[in-house]
């Protein structure tokens, strides 16, 4: 069972001068769900190497059992520091693909041609693909074979407009995940802000926020 996990390489939070990147819990929780199930996990990012960590996800109040486990796991840290360059990755040989969020993906993975090609390949071949929190941003430009948006007519979730408002970044992000999914014809669903909420439609798994990370990973495993 081989799972590809794709992380952002983008570290600038718009023009605020602040840093962003991937959200630690959204990487650590799925990583251990997959690893504990015996999966062979490959990490990749557009630029390869160490992906930028969103500093807001590394504060004391953002720590979870999974993030603490990661911080004491030297092998996992080394793996994360050496992600493969995304353009060198082929969809062949992987059973599923998963995208952790953080604000970074809104800027780079959304527009990345290699990422789009991978997602479309997994979708076309009927293999599970998933994204959590801001990572459903990756579906902005992805298409089905018929040219329609990949999420058109599918039940989906992702970071809500009210959650974005809650972190004060509505006017900073290039677009709102909830609005984009709806504009692309997605049947957008949401639970309570900050509570775990995951939607599965066929082979597509989406999670609403950081709290949804582990459940989204488990649902992806269920499809395997």
Q: How far is CA 91 from CA 66, 75, 94, 96, 116, in A?
A: 28, 25, 6, 9, 11
Helix (H), strand (E), coil (C) string for 111-147: CCHHHHHHHHHHHHCCCCEEEECCHHHHHCCCECCCC
pLDDT for the residue numbered 200: 98
Q: Is 141 exposed, middle or buried (0-12, 13-18, 19+ CB in 10 A)?
A: middle
- The answer to whether residues 17 and 58 touch, using CB atoms and an 8 Å cutoff, is no
Residue 112 token pair: 């990345």
pLDDT in tens, the chain (224 residues): 999 999 999 999 999 999 999 999 999 999 999 999 999 999 999 999 999 999 999 999 999 999 999 999 999 999 999 999 999 999 999 999 999 999 999 999 999 999 999 999 999 999 999 999 999 999 999 999 999 999 999 999 999 999 999 999 999 999 999 999 999 999 999 999 999 999 999 999 999 999 999 999 999 999 99
Residue 3 token pair: 């799972």
- The answer to whether residues 28 and 64 touch, using CB atoms and an 8 Å cutoff, is yes
- The answer to whether residues 129 and 216 touch, using CB atoms and an 8 Å cutoff, is no
Q: Is 21 exposed, middle or buried (0-12, 13-18, 19+ CB in 10 A)?
A: buried
Strands 84-85, 204-207: pairing kind: unpaired
Closest among 63, 81, 74, 65 to 32, alpha carbons compared = 65
- The answer to whether residues 62 and 107 touch, using CB atoms and an 8 Å cutoff, is no
pLDDT for the residue numbered 37: 98
Write down all domains in the chain, each with its CATH number in brackets: 2-223 (3.40.50.880)
């Amino acid at each position: 069972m081989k799972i590809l996990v794709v992380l952002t390489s983008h570290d600038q939070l718009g023009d605020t001068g602040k840093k962003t990147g991937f959200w630690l819990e959204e990487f650590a929780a799925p990583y251990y769900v997959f690893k504990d199930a015996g999966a062979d996990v490959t990490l990749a990012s557009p630029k390869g190497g160490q992906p930028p960590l969103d500093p807001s996800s590394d504060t004391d109040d953002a720590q979870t059992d999974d993030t603490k486990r990661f911080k004491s796991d030297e092998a996992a840290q080394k793996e994360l520091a050496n992600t493969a360059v995304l353009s060198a990755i082929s969809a062949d040989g992987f059973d599923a693909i998963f995208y952790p969020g953080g604000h970074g993906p809104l800027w780079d993975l959304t527009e990345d041609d290699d990422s789009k090609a991978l997602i479309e390949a997994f979708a076309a071949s009927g293999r599970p693909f998933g994204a959590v929190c801001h990572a459903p941003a990756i579906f902005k430009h992805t298409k089905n074979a018929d040219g329609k948006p990949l999420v058109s007519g599918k039940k989906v979730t992702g970071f809500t407009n009210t959650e974005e408002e809650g972190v004060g970044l509505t006017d900073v992000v290039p677009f709102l995940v909830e609005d984009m999914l709806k504009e692309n014809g997605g049947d957008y669903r949401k639970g309570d802000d900050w509570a775990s909420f995951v939607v599965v439609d066929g082979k597509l798994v989406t999670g609403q926020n950081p709290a949804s990370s582990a459940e989204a990973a488990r649902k992806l495993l269920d499809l395997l």
